């Protein structure tokens, strides 16, 4: 069944507390009116950047994988992103049918994401210059990612007379409602910007039903313009070892230099308060205080680099490990490429994802696709990404003691990881990028169809 779903049963533009969205109905408008060429906008982070550090993360993976699969459907994609170096070429072919265009907007280096709103006019100018150099009608549609890109998208789409499809990825009001202790709230200017984008977009793509409901509740989105498309996972890259989960785990640990008999709870992602890697460290300290004999056989890899407000204290997590007295069991590793990341997933006993906010949680699905269960916070899209009690464990709140209790089960019964891992791999197969691309193409088709009807 298509993952593009129309929504009924909620008054357009309004969401009522406690009123669920009606059961989804698949909608397909065929392939005859699909766009030929789409301009994607990713202002603040390039699809060419390494996920796991800086501002590069799940959204980067999302854009790259979606663009490749759309190209396989004969929809050409040109991705516009801000140039961060004078040495970058004007354009780079990411894959057949996918081109990345570098737009000069502000200083190449040393510009934080929070400084980018001042450069949006320059970025919009660069995008419209690219349009001016093409024949009329070169791009059929704009697809913007994150609110900064949405601001550019609404201006460019209005000028070009094409539909705007927007994916929020994260929302300021949702993040501010569940901030980590000491984290910085998103500014009012972002809330205002997101509100303008929601009003301007022909279609809004939400990752889950919960995100769709948040768009309605917090931003008064028009119900008829919201579509739910679950992100995918690269099932060719992220998969269990063909020899079996247990054999694959042993082989991955040998390649990574990890002890074969260790209990290995893994954190993978950007190091910032929002992602809550500190919760894992605190839960491990709690675990070892209760069961000190585990110290001899636990290894806790943290794979990723500082990002967002975490950049203000790049060594904060290492200092926390020292204060907790667990530096001897924690391995800090820099961000790695996707193939090596798959090895880290396979090597782990369990992935721990205690985020305060997640629109979906691609890392959780990637780990499960490799046959590794997940302990995750019951927030955002993670209850969709993780099947509680089957492919992993969902934890309410962010009390380290609760995460320690979830870890107990895997530490006490090593076979639990393999049993849940097999179920996790089956669960993850629901989330393929090919399916997501077809569903996204249907969203594009609907937006084009409506635009043509309006004349």
Q: Is 190 annotated in some ligand binding site?
A: yes
Answer yes or no: are the C-beta atoms of 104 and 127 closer than 8 Å: no
Residue 25 has a pLDDT of: 38
At 163, the pLDDT band (50, 70, 90 cuts) reads: very high
What are the start-end ranges of the H helices in 114-233?
Answer: 120-132, 146-160, 172-176, 188-200, 209-219
Joined tokens for residue 315: 């060594």
Q: Which of 17-26, 152-161, 413-422 has the lowest mean pLDDT?
A: 17-26
Q: Is 81 annotated in some ligand binding site?
A: no
Residue 316 has a pLDDT of: 87
Q: Is 173 annotated in some ligand binding site?
A: no
Which residue would you say has higher pLDDT here, 212 or 305?
212
Is pLDDT at 168 greater than 80 in this prediction? yes
Distances from the Cα of 412 to the Cαs of 287, 399, 403, 416, in angstroms?
Answer: 11, 21, 14, 9
Q: Is 126 annotated in some ligand binding site?
A: no
Q: Which domains does the chain have, with CATH numbers?
A: 5-232+433-454 (3.40.50.2000), 245-428 (3.40.50.2000)
Mean pLDDT of 429-435: 93
Considering 12-16, 51-55, 90-94, 132-136, the range whose residues carry the highest mean pLDDT is 90-94
Q: Is 270 annotated in some ligand binding site?
A: yes
CA distance 421 to 326: 27
Q: Which of 206-210, 225-229, 250-254, 268-272 has the lowest mean pLDDT?
A: 268-272
Answer yes or no: are the C-beta atoms of 325 and 286 closer than 8 Å: no
161's CB contacts (< 8 A; 6+ apart) are none
Q: Is 62 annotated in some ligand binding site?
A: no
At 85, the pLDDT band (50, 70, 90 cuts) reads: confident
Q: Is 50 annotated in some ligand binding site?
A: yes
Residue 53 has a pLDDT of: 57
Question: Which of these, 336, 352, 368, 51, lies nearest to 238 by C-alpha position?
Answer: 368
Residue 131 has a pLDDT of: 77
DSSP one-letter code for 420: H
Distances from the Cα of 232 to the Cαs of 46, 118, 196, 237, 451, in angstroms?
Answer: 19, 33, 28, 12, 28
Is pLDDT at 360 greater than 50 in this prediction? yes
Q: Percent of the chain at pLDDT above 90?
A: 71
Mean pLDDT of 233-258: 95
At 309, the pLDDT band (50, 70, 90 cuts) reads: low
CA 308 vs. chain centroid, Å, equals 15
Q: Is 19 annotated in some ligand binding site?
A: no
Q: Is 44 annotated in some ligand binding site?
A: yes
CA distance 32 to 39: 19
At 55, the pLDDT band (50, 70, 90 cuts) reads: low
CA distance 233 to 248: 19
pLDDT tens-digit series, residues 264-301: 999 999 898 999 999 999 999 999 999 999 999 999 99
Q: How many other CB atoms sit within 10 Å of the CB of residue 415?
A: 9
Q: Is 60 annotated in some ligand binding site?
A: yes
- For the beta sheet containing 141-145, the strands, ordered from the edge strand earlier in sequence to the opposite edge, are 91-95, 98-103, 76-82, 37-42, 141-145, 164-167, 203-206, 226-228
Using DSSP's 3-state secondary structure scheme, residue 233 falls into: strand
Residue 4 has a pLDDT of: 40
Q: Which of 17-26, 95-104, 157-166, 324-333 has the lowest mean pLDDT?
A: 17-26
DSSP one-letter code for 321: H
CA 270 vs. chain centroid, Å, equals 11
Residue 311 has a pLDDT of: 54
CA distance 97 to 67: 8
CA 28 vs. chain centroid, Å, equals 26
Residue 106 has a pLDDT of: 82
Q: Is 348 annotated in some ligand binding site?
A: yes
CA distance 348 to 252: 9
Which residue would you say has higher pLDDT here, 45 or 57?
45
Q: Which of 64-68, 135-139, 218-222, 254-258 has the lowest mean pLDDT?
A: 135-139
Using DSSP's 3-state secondary structure scheme, residue 388 falls into: strand
Average model confidence (pLDDT) across the chain: 88
Torsion of the alpha carbons at 47, 48, 52 and 53, rounded to the nearest 10: -110
Q: Is 260 annotated in some ligand binding site?
A: no
* pTM > 0.75: yes
At 23, the pLDDT band (50, 70, 90 cuts) reads: very low
Is pLDDT at 178 greater than 90 in this prediction? no
Q: Is 171 annotated in some ligand binding site?
A: no
CA distance 266 to 344: 8
Mean pLDDT of 66-87: 94
Beta bridge partners of 305: none
Q: Percent of the chain at pLDDT above 70?
A: 89
Q: Is 54 annotated in some ligand binding site?
A: no
Q: Is 338 annotated in some ligand binding site?
A: no
CA distance 138 to 131: 8
CA distance 353 to 192: 30
Q: Is 275 annotated in some ligand binding site?
A: yes
Joined tokens for residue 182: 């000491």
Q: Is 78 annotated in some ligand binding site?
A: no
Dihedral pair phi/psi, residue 358, rounded to 5°: -150, 125
Mean pLDDT of 182-209: 94
Is pLDDT at 27 greater than 80 in this prediction? no
Mean pLDDT of 2-9: 36
Which residue would you say has higher pLDDT here, 419 or 49?
419
Q: Is 108 annotated in some ligand binding site?
A: no
């Amino acid at each position: 069944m298509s993952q593009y779903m129309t929504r009924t049963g909620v008054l357009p533009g309004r969401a009522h507390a406690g009123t669920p969205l009606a059961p989804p109905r698949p909608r397909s408008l065929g392939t005859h009116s699909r766009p030929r060429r789409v301009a994607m906008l990713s202002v603040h982070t390039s699809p060419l950047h390494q996920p796991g550090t800086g501002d590069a993360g799940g959204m980067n993976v999302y854009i790259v994988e979606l663009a490749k699969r759309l190209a396989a459907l004969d929809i050409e994609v040109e991705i516009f992103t801000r140039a961060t170096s004078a040495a970058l070429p004007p354009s780079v072919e990411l894959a057949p049918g996918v081109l990345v265009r570098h737009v000069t907007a502000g200083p190449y280096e040393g510009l934080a994401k929070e400084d980018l709103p001042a450069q949006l006019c320059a970025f919009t100018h660069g995008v419209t210059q690219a349009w001016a150099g093409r024949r009329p009608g070169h791009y059929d549609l704009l697809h913007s990612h994150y609110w900064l890109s949405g601001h550019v998208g609404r201006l460019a789409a209005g000028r070009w007379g094409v539909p705007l499809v927007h994916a929020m990825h994260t929302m300021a009001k949702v993040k501010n409602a569940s901030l980590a202790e000491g984290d910085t709230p998103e500014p009012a200017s972002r809330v205002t910007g997101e509100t303008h984008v929601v009003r301007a977009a022909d279609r809004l793509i939400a990752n889950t039903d919960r995100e769709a409901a948040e768009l309605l509740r917090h931003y008064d989105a028009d119900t008829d313009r919201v579509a739910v498309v679950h992100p995918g996972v690269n099932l060719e890259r992220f998969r269990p070892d063909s020899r079996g989960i247990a054999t694959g785990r042993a082989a991955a640990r040998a390649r990574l230099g990890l002890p074969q008999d260790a209990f290995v709870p893994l954190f993978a992602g950007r190091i910032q308060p929002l992602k809550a890697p500190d919760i894992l460290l605190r839960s491990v300290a709690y675990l070892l205080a209760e069961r000190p004999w585990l110290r001899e056989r636990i290894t806790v890899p943290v794979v990723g680099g500082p990002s967002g407000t975490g950049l203000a204290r790049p060594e904060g997590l290492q200092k926390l490990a020292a204060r907790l007295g667990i530096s001897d069991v924690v391995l800090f590793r820099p961000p790695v490429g996707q193939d090596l990341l798959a090895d880290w997933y396979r090597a782990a006993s369990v992935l721990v994802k205690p985020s305060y906010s997640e629109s979906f949680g691609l890392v959780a699905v990637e780990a499960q696709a490799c046959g590794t269960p997940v302990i995750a916070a019951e927030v955002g899209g993670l209850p969709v990404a993780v099947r509680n009690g089957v492919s992993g464990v969902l934890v309410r709140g962010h009390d380290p003691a609760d995460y320690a209790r979830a870890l107990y089960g895997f530490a006490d019964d090593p076979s639990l990881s393999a049993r849940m891992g097999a179920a996790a791999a089956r669960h993850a197969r629901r989330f393929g990028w090919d399916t997501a691309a077809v569903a996204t193409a249907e969203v594009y088709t609907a937006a084009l169809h409506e635009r043509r009807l309006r004349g």
